[in-house]
Chain A
Amino acid sequence: MKQEYKIELVEEYENVNFYSIHLEGKKLTELEAFFEKFPIGCEYDDEIDTIIAWIDKIAEKGALERYFRPEGNYGDGVGVIPIDLGKKLRLYCLRLSDKILVFGNGGVKDAATWEESKELAPYVKLLIDTSRFITSRISDGSLVLVDKEIVGNLNFTRNEEK
């Protein structure tokens, strides 16, 4: 099944820009959809608070590599927001540079690894594919990273696994 999506700017700061994947036909970006899944008063309030506090520190300091936990394949920039509390929620992202972060979606950890999780694996795979597409477009010059901005064609199509 073909899946179409684009990467769009969600939040802009002095030191970093936050982008997110926006799937065609969906109202919200994947980052916003993640937060809508866990509204205030849910059992994961503390973990959501930690994720937001961490995101706000990244907004202040930049997306430095040492703050991220790698989660995809070696060197592809896919990571998970590190939370040292509860350890149940996972929010995935793609770090393109110290100044550009692309957020995906996430959910509740229900298996030992993301590969074994029916809920989480699609989110990570989408970011892994996106990393591959971006690397390829940077190589052929159709996309460039300029300071905090991703400039070029930000529309993507992929074959989604069943």
Chain B
Amino acid sequence: MKRSSILEDRRKQVNPEIREAVNLSFQIVDRIHEILTEKGLKQKDLAMLLGKKEAEISKWMRGTHNFTIDTLVSIERALQAPILQVIHHEEVIA
């Protein structure tokens, strides 16, 4: 499949932390989109639930937004569904 050599060269230099941050932001917005779809809601409904403008929610949903914990908690509470989960490594006692 065709690739641009100029883009390919620049891709190799991308800061892995920035790539990870964008990946995570996409995972979050796709999860929010999934919850909205399951509940038959639109972005404007989420805006209303959060007391925000629809334009602000659209801005969040584009895949490069740096979500704060406060924002994620408010979205989880508004939609009554989990977005992020923390992994625990529990010690197994023999």
Contacts and interface: CB of A to CB of B under 8 A. Distances in A.
Contact of A52 (B7, B23, B30, B58): B7
Interface string A2-23: 0000000111110000000000
A61 B58 CA distance: 18
A35 B6 contact: yes
Contacts of A52: 7, 10-11, 14
A45 to B, nearest CB: 8
Contacts of B63: 54, 57, 67, 82
Among B15, B19, B23, B63, the most chain A Cβ lie within 10 Å of the Cβ of: B63
Interface size class of A (residues with CB under 8 A): 20 to 34
A82 B60 CA distance: 10
Interface residues of B, number: 29
B34 to A, nearest CB: 12
Nearest to B26: A57
A9 B13 CA distance: 23
Given A11-B2, A53-B19, A66 B33 contact: yes
B65 interface: yes
Contact of B2 (A10, A50, A54): A10
Contacts of A32: 4, 6-7
A82 B22 CA distance: 11
Contacts of A11: 1-4, 7
Most chain A CB within 10 A, of B2, B23, B61, is at B2
B61 A66 contact: yes
A46 B66 contact: no
B27 to A, nearest CB: 10
B2 A82 contact: no
Interface string B48-89: 000000000011011111100000000000000000000000
Contacts of A85: 64, 66
Contact of A13 (B1, B6, B18, B19): B1
Given A32-B4, A49-B18, A69-B59, A83 B64 contact: yes
Nearest to A10: B4
A79 B26 CA distance: 18
Interface string A38-69: 00100001101110111111000100001111
Given A11-B3, A12-B2, A66-B33, A53 B22 contact: yes
Interface of A: 9-13, 28-29, 31-32, 35-36, 40, 45-46, 48-50, 52-57, 61, 66-69, 82-85
